[in-house]
A and B are shown apart, each in its own frame.
Chain A
């Protein structure tokens, strides 16, 4: 199978990037912060390389998606690969994950403080 350029802009491209998978790792929230734990190595998939380069500093999943111009689901799949290989760590949001449950007031107080100090 010949590997086509990834920027062809059609659904096939997404299929290629993820090796045909469409089920994402739900553990990655939009605002999960990803940090590289190693440098890219030769022969790595180009998207993996770019993620490792971006995440030398903590970077949110949604920023990776915007930078790579790939849909969230695709980025979650790529991050799942890197996490399984131990090449990244993930800092997940501590806010309540279920809809309709409020975050604790201590957290909100910190948010308020931060906003007022902008």
Chain B
């Protein structure tokens, strides 16, 4: 049996045996905004894809019925991984942010450290919904503007903040999702923000 499996091409890179704590960060944004690109630029593994299915009856409620015979909806998402040290591993999830996705939020993303809203200035309206939903779920987030080369009108961060009606306390930064250092900076900005929130909460 062992020989049969070892013949299969395996590109999996295992975690350290001491790995014990998994953490989550979600990157939300519209189609084509660069979520997978951002995940790829910082991930230690090639981004993987998976899905969750839900029955129509299961939307927003606990489903106790059988899978068979029901209409099912599938929500796909991709993810990457960063081993922070021997014990801690951070998973980055690229999530589509469309309506049906949010029905699955509690089931998939409870316990998420925080979120990055990735914004394309050519399609800013897609970001409003994501921001609204994150505020609804009370999940801390930062907003990163993925700058594309072919951007003809370059809006300033101030203009974008106004356009998104983003409160001052939410960090807003530029990034280039293709560049590893830039992707890292986005994550560091988020965790810095979370750290500030956590210390403020702990001292009150």
Contact = CB atoms under 8 A, between A and B. Distances in A.
A71 B53 contact: yes
B82 to A, nearest CB: 7
A29 B111 contact: yes
Contact of A96 (B55, B90, B111, B197): B111
B17 A58 contact: yes
A56 B5 CA distance: 13
Interface in A4-34: 11-12, 14-15, 18, 20-23, 26, 29-33
B61 to A, nearest CB: 12
A116 B42 CA distance: 12
A66 interface: yes
A62 B21 contact: no
Determine chain B's interface SS by DSSP, over half rule: mixed
Given A11-B68, A23-B63, A23-B64, A29 B22 contact: yes
User: For the side of the interface on A, what is the size category?
Assistant: 35 or more
A22 B63 contact: yes
A30 B22 CA distance: 9
Contacts of A33: 15, 19-22, 89
A93 B116 CA distance: 20
A97 interface: yes
Interface in A63-107: 63, 65-67, 69, 71-73, 91, 93-100, 102-105
Interface residues of B, number: 66
A100 B111 contact: no
A41 B67 CA distance: 29
A20 B68 contact: yes
A22 B65 contact: yes
Interface of A: 11-12, 14-15, 18, 20-23, 26, 29-33, 40, 49, 53-54, 56-60, 62-63, 65-67, 69, 71-73, 91, 93-100, 102-105, 108-116, 118
12 contacts: A14-B67, A29-B111, A60-B89, A72-B52, A73-B52, A93-B22, A93-B23, A100-B137, A102-B197, A104-B202, A110-B84, A115-B191
